[in-house]
Structure 1
Amino acid sequence: PRLSGEDGGASLLSDPGALPRAGGARRRRAPLGRSGAGRSGRVPRGRPRLPRQARRPGRPREVVRVSRTPPARERLRCVLFDVDGTLIDTLDDIAGSVNHMLRSLALSERSIEEVRTFVGRGVRQLILRSVGEEREELVERGLDLFSRHYEIHCLDRSRLMPGAAECLDRFAGRDLGIVSNKTEHFVRRMLDGLGIAGRFRAVYGGDSVAERKPSPLMVRAALEALGRRPEEAILVGDLPVDVETGRAAGVFTVALLGGFGTGAELEAASPDLILDGLAELARRFA
C-alpha cells in the first residue's frame, strides 16, 4: 500500500484482499487456503501475506490509512512519541499500583483490561475511574497511595515495546521528543531505567504545561523547544487522545496498533495513518 493517498485515503482494515494498483483501481487477491495453494499446499511464492500480528486470532488486521500526505523523509526533522503503550509497555505495573491503591481503600480490584481503558488521560483520571466517579472524595488519597507504590514498582515489569530500541536507532539524527500525559517525574524515571533517556531532546509530561493532551499545548511546547515547525514533525501514539492532540496541533499523526488502544478505537478516531507497530514506523519514515 502507498503512503501517497492515491487510493483516496481509504482504510484497508475492512478489505485487506483489495490491493491498489495504478490508476486507483483495485484487484481482488485470491484467498489463502486450499483454493489458493499449489498441489504442495504451500502458498505460491510472491503472494502477499498479512503481517504476523494480523494473523493472530482476535487481533485487528493491519491498517494502512492515509488521510493527508505525510512529511517526506528528507523534510521530516522531528518525531514526537507518547510513552505508555507506544514506547513502553507499562500496563502490568500501572495495574499493580492501581490495585494496591484499591485494596488500601477497601475497594474491589480492577482487571488489567479495565485498567487499560482508564489509561491515557492523566493520573487523576486514572484514579477517579479506578475508584469510581461516585467516590470522587477518595481521589486525593488514592493519588497518594498510587504514587507511593508506583514510585517503587514502576519498573518491575515494564519493558520497551517490540521494536522500540531499533526504531529509535533508525531515527538517530532527527530531533526526538516525548509528549505524555504521565507525570514528567515518572516519564523521566522510566526513560532512565530503560536506558533510552539520552535519545530525547525534549521531554514533556502531563504536569509540564498547563493542559494535558488532547490540548495541543504540550506538542507546541515540544516543537518550540526543538526549534521545529508542525509540518516538519510527526506525532506517534497508541490512543485516540494522541490522535486528537495531533489534529489540534496541526501535526501529522501516526497511530500504532498493539498498544493500549484497540484497532476499532483508533479507526474511529481517524488518525492520518495507522501502522502495525514501531518497526513499520521506522521502515516508512526513518
Structure 2
Amino acid sequence: MNNALQLNHIQAFAFDLDGTLVDSIKDLALAANAMREALGMDDLPLDTLKSFVGDGMGRLVHRALTNDHEALADDALWQQGFAFFTQYYHEHIADYSSPYAGVVDGVQLLKSLGYPVVVVTNKAERFAIKLLADLGMLDEFSLVIGGDTLPEKKPSALPLQHVCEVLNIEPKQLAMVGDSHNDILAAKAAGAYAIGVNYGYENMDDLAQDPNTRADAVIQSLTQLYPAAQDAQMAQARES
C-alpha cells in the first residue's frame, strides 16, 4: 500500500468522529454497560464493546444486548434498552471522551489553508453535535452529517455525495478521513480519497488485506495532513 498522501486535487476534508476525531469509547461502553445493568445483565469487557461501535447507536444497542456482532435483540427489549442507552449517553456523553492528540491542531491547520472541514459520522446527528459542542470543537466544522441526517449512512456513498453537493466540489476532490471499514467503503463508493488513521478502533493493516477496505493512505496524526496539503497547494500554484 502506498501510504504517501496525494492531496493535489483535494479541496475539502471530511472526518469521521468516534475513533478518528474523538476517543469516545469509554463513555459509549459505560452507557452500554449501564443499560445492561439496568436490564439485569452482567457488564461486557471494554474490548468487546469497542468492536461493536461504528454502525450507529441502534446497532450498538442490539450488539450490546445480545453480545453478538450480527444478532438482533427482541424488539421489546431493544426498545427498552435503546431508550435507557440514549438518555444515559446524552447525560454522560463527554465524561471521559476527548480529542485525540493532534486533532484540534490538525483541523485548525487545514482551515488556515482555506480548506472546508466537515464531520461525517454514523453517530446520530444530535449526539454528534452535542459531543463536539461539549468538547469545544463544534465551531471548527462547517457541516455535521450524522447517521440519521440522510436516508443512508456510511458505508453508503450518500453522505459524502451530499457533502460534495453542499460544497460544490467533485467527489474526487474530497478526502474522507476515518478509522473504520465504513469510512473507506463510503469513500470508495463515492469516488473520494480514503485516508485511514492508525490509532482508531479498527486496524488499518487488517483492513488493507481486502482491496475494498484498503485506504489510499494511512496517517498517524491529523497534523500530517497540513504539510501535504500545503505542498499540494504550492504545486497547484506553480502549475497555474
TM-score when normalising by structure 2? 0.87
| Higher RCO structure, 1 or 2 (CA under 8 Å, sep 6+) | 2
1:163 aligns with 2:97: no
Question: What are the ranges of 5 or more consecutive residues in structure 1 without an aligned counterpart?
Answer: 1-10, 12-63
Q: Is the 8 A contact 1:203 1:222 kept in 2?
A: no
Determine the structure 2 residue equivalent to 1:114.
48
Larger deviation, residues 133-142 vs 199-208: 133-142
Determine the structure 2 residue equivalent to 1:47.
none
Letter matched to residue 86 of structure 1: T
1:277 aligns with 2:221: yes
The correspondence of residues 61-80 of structure 1 with structure 2, limited to 5 A, is 65=3, 70-72=6-8, 75-80=9-14
Question: How much has 1:134 moved relative to structure 2?
Answer: 5.6
Determine the structure 1 residue equivalent to 2:191.
250
Would the alpha carbon gap of residues 158 and 251 (structure 1) be closer, same or farther in structure 2, given more than 3 Å must change?
A: same
Report the structure, 1 or 2, having the larger helix content: 2
Determine the structure 1 residue equivalent to 2:144.
203
Would the alpha carbon gap of residues 283 and 110 (structure 1) be closer, same or farther in structure 2, given more than 3 Å must change?
A: farther
Question: What are the ranges of 5 or more consecutive residues in structure 2 without an aligned counterpart?
Answer: 231-240
Would the alpha carbon gap of residues 134 and 83 (structure 1) be closer, same or farther in structure 2, given more than 3 Å must change?
A: closer
The correspondence of residues 1-286 of structure 1 with structure 2, limited to 5 A, is 11=1, 65=3, 70-72=6-8, 75-132=9-66, 133=71, 135-137=73-75, 138-172=77-111, 173-268=114-209, 269-286=213-230
Rounded to whole Å, the distance in 1 between the matches of 2:85 and 2:121 is 18
Rounded to whole Å, the distance in 2 between the matches of 1:65 and 1:111 is 33
Question: How much has 1:264 moved relative to structure 2?
Answer: 3.2
Rounded to whole Å, the distance in 2 between the matches of 1:220 and 1:263 is 24
Give a deviation string over 1:148-205, Cα, whole Å, max 9, x none. Answer: 0001100101001110111011111211111100000011111111112112111100
Determine the structure 1 residue equivalent to 2:233.
none
TM-score when normalising by structure 1? 0.73
Identity %: 27
How many residue pairs end up in the alignment? Answer: 220
Question: How much has 1:283 moved relative to structure 2?
Answer: 3.4
Letter matched to residue 122 of structure 2: N
Give a deviation string over 1:209-261, Cα, whole Å, max 9, x none. Answer: 00111011111111111222112110000011111110001000000011111
Larger radius of gyration: 1
